[in-house]
Amino acid sequence: MKVGARSFDTLISVRRPLLAALLATSAAISVQGCLPLMVGGTVMGSVAATDRRTIGAQADDAAIVLKGEGRASKITGELGRVAVTSFNHRVLLTGEVKDDKMKAEVEQQIVTIDGVKSVENDLVVAPVSSMGARSNDALITGKVKAAIIDTKDLYVNAFKVQTDRGVVYLMGRVTQREGKLAAEVARNAASKIKKVVKLFEYISEEDLKELSAKPASEQQKDTAR
């Protein structure tokens, strides 16, 4: 059966997203060889290489970020910039605000969001940072993640990296060993890093082994710690 030029283009356009997804998955696996493999709907591989939050916690964190940034922008308007980062219901606030009153108001609003367990308020009273400064922060974040990927016994998906005003914040559910190593790696990842702040939720080596031994279905039933 012949396929016309238009039909062929349509076929390619439909398949292109799938091809892109497959290529992205392949690239991720090649970058960090211990990522999980999806077979028949079951995740195969060690939890050490994956996000150690439950699926529910990940969804909650995404909702917290969305709601938090929306509430913050209503308070600051053009007089401030607030970046909201959430990991396992623990929130980090970074950016600039007009004064201490605005800083407190933003935190008060974030605390009332359903699911938020704690707030680390690192907002600074200062003019809103330039696009150039924020681009540099994004570059630093990329370098830190790349350095983690290149480090044996560290898995980038176990960490959340946020950079603001040259300060690198590291979050994640990690062991003391992993946290110490990640901080050292981050400090040497880029020349313009001012400091590295660890905001980890620590688990024991025994906890990590237990998580790694559990089937994916059981891991998702666990409550977020």
Is residue 86, in this structure, part of any structural domain at all? yes
Q: What is the mean pLDDT of the chain?
A: 83
Strand partners, 195: 167
For residue 26, being part of any structural domain is answered with no
What is the distance between the alpha carbons of residues 93 and 218, in angstroms, rounded to a whole number? 32
Three-class DSSP labels, 56-121: HHHHHHHHHHHHHHHHHHHHHHHHCEEEEEEECCEEEEEEEECCHHHHHHHHHHHHCCCCCCEEEE
Indicate whether 77 and 119 sit together in one domain: yes
> Is 174 in the same domain as 135?
yes
pLDDT one-digit tens code per residue, 36-49: 434 333 343 455 56
Does residue 136 share a domain with residue 186? yes
Shared domain check, 117 and 175: no
* Residue 215, domain member (yes or no): no
143 and 190 within one domain = yes
Same domain, 85 and 152: no
- Clarify whether residues 136 and 120 are in a common domain: no
Looking at residues 78-99, what average pLDDT do you find? 98
Question: Is residue 105 assigned to a domain?
Answer: yes
The pLDDT tens digits for 165-182 are: 999 999 999 999 999 999
- CB atoms under 10 Å from CB of 99, counted, come to 11
Question: Does 203 or 46 have the greater pLDDT score?
Answer: 203
- The pTM score is 0.76
- Supply the pLDDT for residue 222: 55
Residue 18, pLDDT score: 43
Q: Is residue 33 part of a domain?
A: no
Q: Indicate if 97 and 140 belong to the same structural domain.
A: no
Residues 107 and 156 in one domain: no
Shared-domain flag, residues 159 and 200: yes
Q: What is the CATH number of the domain that holds 109?
A: 3.30.1340.30
Residue 57 has pLDDT above 60, yes or no: yes
Of the ranges 8-17, 89-98, 123-132, 206-215, which one carries the lowest mean pLDDT score?
8-17
Say yes or no: 78 and 116 in one domain.
yes
| Token duo for residue 224 | 């977020």
Q: What is the pLDDT of residue 203?
A: 96
Query: Do 91 and 145 have their domain in common?
Result: no
Rounded to an integer, what is the distance from CA 36 to the centroid of its chain? Answer: 18
Supply the pLDDT for residue 115: 97
Is residue 28 one of the residues assigned to a domain?
A: no
Residue 27 confidence (pLDDT) above 60? no
In a domain, 102, yes or no: yes
pLDDT of residue 50: 84
Model confidence pLDDT, tens digit, residues 178-198: 999 999 999 999 999 999 999
The number of folded domains in the chain is 2
Domain that holds residue 159: 131-209
| Residue 20 resides in a domain | no
